[in-house]
Amino acid sequence: MHRLYAILFAACCLTLASCINEDLSDCGSNYGLEYQVTLTTNVQTEIHTELTTETEVEVGKQLLNTLSGFFAEYANDVDLNFYNLAQPQTLRHNEHHYIGGAYASYTIYLPAEDYRHLSVANLDGEPLVNMEGNDPAERFNMIQQQGDTIDSHTYGLFSARRDMQVVEGIDQVFDVSLYMQNCAAALVVEPTDVVFRHMEVYLTDLATSFEVNDSIYHYDASPMVRTHKLDTGNRLLCHYGMGFPSAEVRTTRNEGALESLWRIKAYVTLPSGSITETTLYISSPLQAGQLRIIKATLKADGSLTPVQPEVGASVELDWKQGGIYEPEL
């Protein structure tokens, strides 16, 4: 478990209308916001638990190092939004800051009012995810790029929500915790002595968007998420990918997928040029802030056999391309 305590003593001055007839309800003051960017993850535990042989341990070290940029213990940027708490929750104030480290301090000026505060971090550098909008609060949503096949996420994405009662003339400090909203999975394969040309791996059945205000994921489609190949330096093969979490419970969207919540698809090109598709079915959820490692062995026909007994599999030999996978021959 990693925890980052980024204390952001919040935001810049905003010029407001002058107080009229000493009506102090229209006046504001500087208030403190203390942000705690909290990264609660199982990365080291998952690696140490699943990768135990001497060869696997070496792969685990490389995987941990590679994912350190994704499970990063700092925020690059943060977007702060303040809405009136009463419905409809319309935007009253917005600030955007570049942090680039573990700690930063700011000052914020707000009129006395009850607020719904929403914030996100690390969206600036993430090409796969954008914000739908920021007004009203229900539109402050992370929206993933659409497509049948998309790339993995690049950065860990964080969000926070908090109700704030700002009282005029009282020194106040508000604590706000930011939590990670995406995750990662890795497939580690023992190829034994199988000869093959190429292998491609994809994740699917992951969320496509996230409502920051209500902390709800949506599963409007099941794009294939491309993974990256890790150069292990030994015989083991490792592909890892990052995206939004899977569903926590089964839905009508995946009810026919062998009781799975999310899937891994692997395409192995054999020396003959034929392609074998293996679909791995995982019944436990892939959760935000978490890493999941799935292990398998490669057989002579190009199929994968999962090592964990709770992971199911189906195989299609001599698979024909249907517009999703483009093998690199």
- The string of DSSP letters for 99-127 reads EEES-EE--EEEES-EEEEEEEES-TT-T
Under 8 Å between Cβ of 117 and 136:
no
15 pLDDT above the threshold of 80:
no
In angstroms, the Cα distances linking 312 to 203, 279, 326 are 15, 8, 25
Written as six digits, the tokens of 121 are 């971090």
The pLDDT value recorded for residue 27 is: 60
276: left (phi over 0), alpha (psi -120 to 50) or beta: beta
| Cα gap 4→39, rounded to integer Å | 6
Under 8 Å between Cβ of 214 and 158:
no
| pLDDT one-digit tens code per residue, 193-242 | 899 999 999 999 999 999 999 999 999 999 999 999 999 989 999 999 99
Mean pLDDT of 137-159: 97
- Identify which has the larger pLDDT, 31 or 205: 205
106 pLDDT above the threshold of 70:
no
Residues 6 or more apart in contact with residue 53 via CB below 8 angstroms: none
273: left (phi over 0), alpha (psi -120 to 50) or beta: left
Beta bridge partners of 81: 94, 118
Find tokens 């195989």 and name the residue.
Answer: 315
